[in-house]
A and B are shown apart, each in its own frame.
Chain A
Amino acid sequence: MALFQLNNCSVRAIASAVPQNKVFTKDYEYISEQERQMFIKTVGIEERRVAPSHLTSADLCYHSAKKIIHELNWDKNSVDALIFITQSPDYFIPASSIILQHRLGLSKNTIAFDINLGCSGYVYGLFVLGSMLQTGQIKRAILLAGDKSTLSTCYKDKSTYPLFGDAGSATALEYHPHASSIYFNLQTDGSGEEAIKIPHGGSRYHIQPDTFEEIEIEPGIIRSKRHLQLLGSDIFNFALREVAPNAEELFKFSSVNKNEIDYFVFHQANLLMNESVRKKMKIPAEKVPYSIRKLGNTSSASIPLTIVTELKDKLNGNKKLFLSGFGVGFSWASCIVDFNSVTIFNLIEMD
């Protein structure tokens, strides 16, 4: 049972960055007009941001972190840990967080490593850094979460291409002896390996001649082995099966009443899927913000990005948030966290 109560850790600030470049579903001419309309209505994505070739997820996170360090007036030597949740690092090696430690001018005493998680990653990242902070042996940490998912999709694959947006984020966390507890429920099911996968390019199937061969899986779905594959109905069933019980377990464990939650921020996967989960959990619509319409599915950045774009002016004072990430792996996690005067910065847009 991966249920945890962490103490002494508070969220101080969140910043998020996206590319300026907008791509609209209405312009996706690979599918018919009716399909585009159906996609917008069902999946919920009207537009998304696509990074140009020079801009990576590490860059988007870098600018988010720079903003936080500058605006909070943090001494760069006071940042003890930097974790980057990403599945689109700058290089295979070294880890992007290590490059970012230097780029951000942080001290050589900084703990830095990447975590390879997607949709569930933000909650996992909060858990990993929260665990370190609660000991009091480190005092300040920055959680980076972001992906350039648009690099992995094939234009001729209607099941992946119109879904993803690029985004990065940075969350400042601090040791705080009087902070409210944060509760977590973290879960994993590797039997879902095939549901969301890039088959080639790793060491199991390294780049080889057939890696780039485009194959028609079914009408409207053509891709190669270097591209992302999504098995829609498997993912959908996974979310319907697991997300609500995971949350219920967390509420029971924490003794927090669901009605005490001000906002439920879910990973922005797919509007129909998220709404099905919301209805299953019997949560009122006004407590569930969405950034998916304008920004698409932004992988591990989706929770902090949604907080930045949808809740910036609604988090004054003390608010109780429920966060839930679910997807690739399968991996899923939720947490209940108090936002006490958290600084939320305006969305950063990069060219």
Chain B
Amino acid sequence: MIPIQEFIQLLENEFDDLPKGTLKPETNYREIPNWSSMHALIIIAFADANFNVELNANDLRKAQTIQDLYEIIKSKLQS
């Protein structure tokens, strides 16, 4: 698994309207400005395309922060 900083950079690329450096490991991703369910779909597509990992609705519900998302993806990669 790539380091979290790299993970954040990749994720920020998916959100065109988000200034670089906005996301931190502790950022609650639902507090991204103008957060909507479409951002959730972008995160699902991101996890699939970059890590071949499926993030389901439950995973997204459980995760609060970017760090949480990172850990979920990491644990799925290891299992």
Interface on A for B, CB 8 Å cutoff? Answer: 32, 34-35, 38-39, 41-43, 158-159, 231-234, 236-237, 240-241, 270, 272-273, 276, 279-280
Stretch from B3-11, B41-49, B66-74 contacting the other chain? B41-49
Residues of chain A contacted by B48 (CB below 8 angstroms): 237, 240, 276, 280
Interface residue tally of chain B, by bracket? 10 to 19
Residues of chain A contacted by B36 (CB below 8 angstroms): 35, 38
**Interface 1/0s, chain B 43-72, versus A by CB < 8 A?**
011001100001111001000000000000
CB <8 Å contact, A34 and B34? yes
CB <8 Å contact, B49 and A233? no
Residues of chain A contacted by B54 (CB below 8 angstroms): 237, 240-241
Tell me, in angstroms, the Cα distance from A273 to B56 when the chains sit together.
15
How would you classify the secondary structure of chain B's contact residues: helix, strand, loop or mixed? helix
Tell me, in angstroms, the Cα distance from A11 to B38 when the chains sit together.
38
**Chain B residue, CB-CB nearest to A270:** B41
Listed by A's residue number, 10 A-B pairs whose Cβ atoms lie within 8 Å are A39-B38, A41-B16, A159-B37, A233-B44, A237-B44, A240-B44, A240-B54, A276-B45, A279-B49, A280-B48
CB <8 Å contact, B34 and A236? no
B23 interface residue, CB < 8 Å from A?
no
Tell me, in angstroms, the Cα distance from A236 to B42 when the chains sit together.
10
CB <8 Å contact, A272 and B34? no
CB <8 Å contact, A232 and B37? yes
Residues of chain B contacted by A41 (CB below 8 angstroms): 16
Tell me, in angstroms, the Cα distance from A240 to B60 when the chains sit together.
16
CB <8 Å contact, B40 and A38? no
Tell me, in angstroms, the Cα distance from A159 to B39 when the chains sit together.
13
Residues of chain B contacted by A276 (CB below 8 angstroms): 45, 48-49
CB <8 Å contact, A233 and B45? no
Tell me, in angstroms, the Cα distance from A237 to B48 when the chains sit together.
9
In the A-B complex, list the 3 residue pairs whose CB atoms are closest, starting with the nearest: A42-B38, A34-B34, A233-B57
